Structure 1
């Protein structure tokens, strides 16, 4: 009888990194703990729901536009290869990349902003904090001894890699303007598992360093860069394919200034116009830049090649810079930080600025954003007023077990955040609009 191959742990990781919040019995040896993490996320309902959630262009507006799901798969491909080249366990990076957008609510960043206001009484809403909540509580696989859900019960290394902003809102670092950043990665009532995964109060073995406050592990940095690279080029590709703009438009002075201003305002606060313009000129000067896409197979292929080449350009620049600083050794967890050259940061930001200028801030989109806000506001208001009547069973249970109004509001927010774009519209039409119609009848 042939023996089952034994899974080999990637160098640079130990038992500490493979530890789970809830201990599990030994599993089959042919898979590593990190391979099991990736499989758990890949088979999660939260990942499937991303297929009907907005990336930049709404998923129902075009058969071929990217969704949060396809974006996450592309981020995972970029991150896995980038991380593996540095020495990271590819499955840890892959898991983080697949997970990074799980917490996004319906309607993209517009929905995130709306829910943050609506959830003020229970600590606000942030997509990255919601991701940790999904992985450690809302998804169903493992339970703690007290009967509470432990979510997917991923390893410490994978959870840490998925934490893009490793701090609660109360400990958010200051921006360059001296204000606390609006981004955070954990809600107050999820802090126990967050403190565990960050190693607070635990005794570690040799080399198992506890991170400094606010410090991201290398795998999380790789995930973050892969996300930036992917959406910077893919959002432009989608916008051009959808007919929103052409790259040749930025040759015109006022159009170019519009892109520069949005790039600075959204992504590079304090940067000089000349430096942003120089980054745009570098990209325009490449052989891959496609001024016009006319819908022909050849022009579409050229746009796809530009996307591919720019991903390679940005990834390679970071790899070279990181290796120049740290040498050829395997880089994992907290023994290194990813180095991204300033020129590359500006080039990525300019690509994001293009999509921002022509899609996300387009005047024709504003009524849509307002309607999306009304849908989410109406749902939260109705569900808050009707208790557990309309909540799905798992969220209804959370509502009933909540100790106070803040906990009950969080259960409502969790329910609404779990909806896809289309299901949010359907719930609103059925519950909110239907209730208003019924009230007018009686």
Structure 2
């Protein structure tokens, strides 16, 4: 029988005077991991350290976990399982955010590519130092099957035509153990809750950061139909299966919502900050409550967990969330000068990878050097180099490039 609380490597019970659930232990392991600490200086949307107000991957992950925990508890999921999923979902993201992810995917083509979610699985089951298997190999944090399954946004290997995937070929064995008994590619409810919490946090908080930073100004959208059409085209191409025309109708309603009205006159004052926080809180509550209500309407009051139900998100709410993500994409991530900064970041990572390939194993951290020596072929050795780079924070990647290559491309670590 495949139990949800099984661990890949059996561990003796701990005599701590307090009996924690397996999932409470999972949560503690993620919180105390080195990979989690490194999220503090990894890019969310803006480069970490450029503004004390703005989110990093760490604060984003904490917010996702809080949203997921409350939403999951309302549906009857084990709250610690969805909490773990929220805390851990971005552990595999490399320096420089999604731009760094795209750069590493190209560099890692000979060994199967790179994807942040697949890297997260690798971090949790192989790269983090916590538990050793009987043969002396690393079992990573050795989390329970339920927690690892909840972290899997994309429970399938790389496929032609699909940009997202959740496992590399050489991690197939542990992936098979996690998914034993799971129905095909279907995600467990906890993973769906975490994924929606991630979308909600991403959309609402990135717009909040953009408004505070002066990058997002809503007046042009209110006044210019062409600008609204361009935004909807971006969203349809990137975040939504809706047509630009259908999104345009949702956008007009969203911009007319009284909840967003204070954002048009944001000036950074205390009163304006209060209004901004009221907007973000209101949107978050709306998006979460709509999903909980729609799921309970379809499946009943619960409790629901694992594969007993699927999360239901109303079409209108999903479109509103996608439009907010599109606002951050268009006015923050694609603002003036972004192409040059992104190119310099990609160049930095490519040069760093080339330098490490030449210098390995001596240029690698002590934890990665033995893995490089034990690798059976060039593809496996390249994967170790990619693992090393992906583990770096934004400042560390810049520092390593300066040390190994001889200087960072100008503005490579500027706000993105």
**Can you list the C-alpha shifts for 1:170-198, whole angstroms capped at 9, x where unaligned?**
xx4xxxxxx62111101111111100011
Give the CA RMSD over aligned residues.
Answer: 1.5
Query: Which of 349, 353, 359 is the matching residue for 1:376?
Result: 349
Taking a change above 3 Å as real, the CA distance of residues 426 and 435 of structure 1, as seen in their structure-2 partners, is closer
Determine whether 1:224 maps to 2:166.
no
Aligned partner of 1:306 among 279, 303, 310 = 279
Counterpart pick for 1:47 among 36, 54, 61: 36
Distance 1:435 1:217, change over 3 A: closer
- 8 A contact 2:216–2:327 mirrored in 1: no
Partner Cα distance (1:57, 1:387) in 2: 31
2:402 and 2:408 in contact (8 A); partners too: no
CA distance in 1, matches of 2:201, 2:154: 19
Shift in CA distance, 434/292, structure 1 to aligned 2, threshold 3 Å: closer
Q: Distance in 1 between matches of 2:270 and 2:234?
A: 31
CA distance in 2, matches of 1:374, 1:299: 40
**How much does 1:259 deviate?**
1.3
Deviation at 1:161, TM superposition (A): 0.3
Partner of 1:20: 7
Cα distance, 1:286 vs structure 2: 2.2
What corresponds to 2:118 in structure 1?
129
What residue is the counterpart of 1:89 in the other structure?
Answer: 78
Q: Is structure 2 residue 220 aligned with structure 1 residue 249?
A: yes
Normalising by structure 1, what TM-score?
A: 0.89
- Between the aligned partners of 2:111 and 2:236, the Cα distance in structure 1 is 32
CA distance in 2: counterparts of 1:70 and 1:78, whole angstroms: 12
Shift of 1:15: 7.7
Aligned mate of 1:138, from 127, 131, 140: 127
For residue 229 of structure 1, report the CA deviation from its aligned partner: 0.4
Task: Tell me the number of residue pairs that the alignment of Structure 1 and Structure 2 aligns.
Answer: 404
Aligned equivalents of 1:405, 1:69: Cα separation in 2:
33
Q: Report the alpha carbon displacement of residue 254 of structure 1 after superposing the two structures with TM.
A: 2.7
Instruction: Indicate whether 1:70 and 2:59 are aligned.
Output: yes
State how far apart, in whole Å, the 2-side matches of 1:398 and 1:112 are.
22
Residue by residue, what CA displacement relative to the aligned partner does 1:273-293 show, whole Å, maximum 9, x if unpaired? 232122222222322102121
**5+ unaligned residues in a row in structure 2: which ranges?**
410-416
Rounded Cα–Cα distance in structure 1 between residues aligned with 2:302 and 2:277: 34
TM-score by length of 2: 0.95
Q: Does 1:214 align with 2:214?
A: no
| Residue 181 (structure 1) aligns with | 162
Q: Distance in 1 between matches of 2:169 and 2:3?
A: 25
Alpha-carbon distance in structure 1 between the residues aligned to 2:301 and 2:240: 31
Alpha-carbon shift at residue 334 of structure 1 (Å):
0.5
- Give, in whole Å, the separation in 1 of the partners of 2:226 and 2:270: 31
Would the aligned equivalents of 1:137 and 1:149 in 2 still touch at CA under 8 Å?
Answer: yes
Q: What secondary structure is seen at the aligned counterpart in 2 of 1:393?
A: coil
Counterpart of 2:414?
none
Cα distance in structure 2, aligned partners of 1:282 and 1:211: 40
| Distance in 2 (alpha carbons) for counterparts of 1:41 and 1:34 | 11
Please give the per-residue CA displacement for 1:289-346, whole angstroms capped at 9, x wherever unaligned.
0212111111111111110000011111101100000001210000110001111110
Q: What is the 5 A alignment of 1:22-421? A: 22-28=9-15, 30-169=19-158, 172=159, 180-199=161-180, 210-251=181-222, 252-269=224-241, 271-289=242-260, 290-421=263-394
Tell me the residue number matched to 1:7.
Answer: none
Q: Note if contact 1:258-1:357 (Cα within 8 Å) is conserved in structure 2.
A: no
What's the counterpart of residue 5 of structure 1? none
- Provide the C-alpha distance between the structure 1 equivalents of 2:34 and 2:127, rounded to a whole number of angstroms: 10
Q: Deviations over 1:49-99 (max 9, x none)?
A: 000011111112212210000000000000000001000000000001101
Paired with 1:279 and 1:77, the residues of 2 have a C-alpha distance of 28
Are the counterparts in 1 of residues 82 and 150 from structure 2 also a CA contact under 8 Å?
yes
